[in-house]
């Protein structure tokens, strides 16, 4: 194999010129586009990572909000139970007070009726005793004597009743 040095140098010079032209007009823009593409992919990865972190943060906030709402619902239920229990106690207490008041009123009414009956009985007993006494004595008793006799008899009967 034989090398022709004159063609070799021409080919080498042509290759260098072609390389310089390609470097200036082809490799530069090609590498520039590749760098832009690399930067775009890097930015998209960073954006995706930031979005994932934000989504994780929002998910955690939602979990906390849900937990807080559950706690509030539980507190509302407990408060309603306590309010219901308190109202039931108040109703029972009011019913007891009303029953006691009605019992006291009934006892007072019974006492009043008893006193009225005793007074009516005393009045009738007094009238009967005067009638019996006047029949026994067979004389007319004046009003003053009658009152004294009734009072005396009522004191005796009142002590026994």
Structural domain boundaries in the chain: 31-159
Q: Which tokens belong to 69?
A: 């709402």
Other Cβ atoms closer than 10 A to 126: 19
Q: Which tokens belong to 153?
A: 């008899």
3-state secondary structure of 93: helix
How would residue 141 be classed by pLDDT, with cut points 50, 70 and 90? low
pLDDT of residue 144: 73
Lowest mean pLDDT among 4-8, 38-42, 74-78: 4-8
H or E element that contains 110: helix 28-137
Residue range 23-41, pLDDT digits in tens:
888 888 888 899 999 999 9
């Amino acid at each position: 194999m034989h090398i022709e040095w004159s063609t070799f140098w021409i080919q080498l010079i042509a290759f260098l010129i072609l390389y310089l032209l390609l470097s200036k007009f082809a490799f530069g823009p090609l590498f520039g586009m590749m760098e832009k593409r690399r930067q775009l992919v890097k930015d998209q990865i960073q954006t995706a990572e930031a979005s994932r972190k934000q989504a994780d943060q929002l998910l955690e906030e939602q979990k906390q909000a849900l937990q807080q709402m559950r706690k509030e619902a539980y507190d509302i239920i407990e408060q309603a139970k306590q309010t219901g229990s308190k109202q039931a106690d108040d109703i029972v207490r009011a019913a007891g007070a009303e029953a006691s008041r009605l019992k006291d009123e009934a006892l007072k009414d019974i006492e009043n009726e008893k006193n009225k009956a005793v007074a009516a009985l005393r009045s009738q007993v007094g009238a009967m005793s005067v009638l019996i006494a006047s029949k026994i004595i067979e004389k007319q008793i004046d009003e003053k004597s009658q009152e004294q006799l009734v009072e005396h008899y009522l004191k005796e009967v009142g002590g026994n009743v």
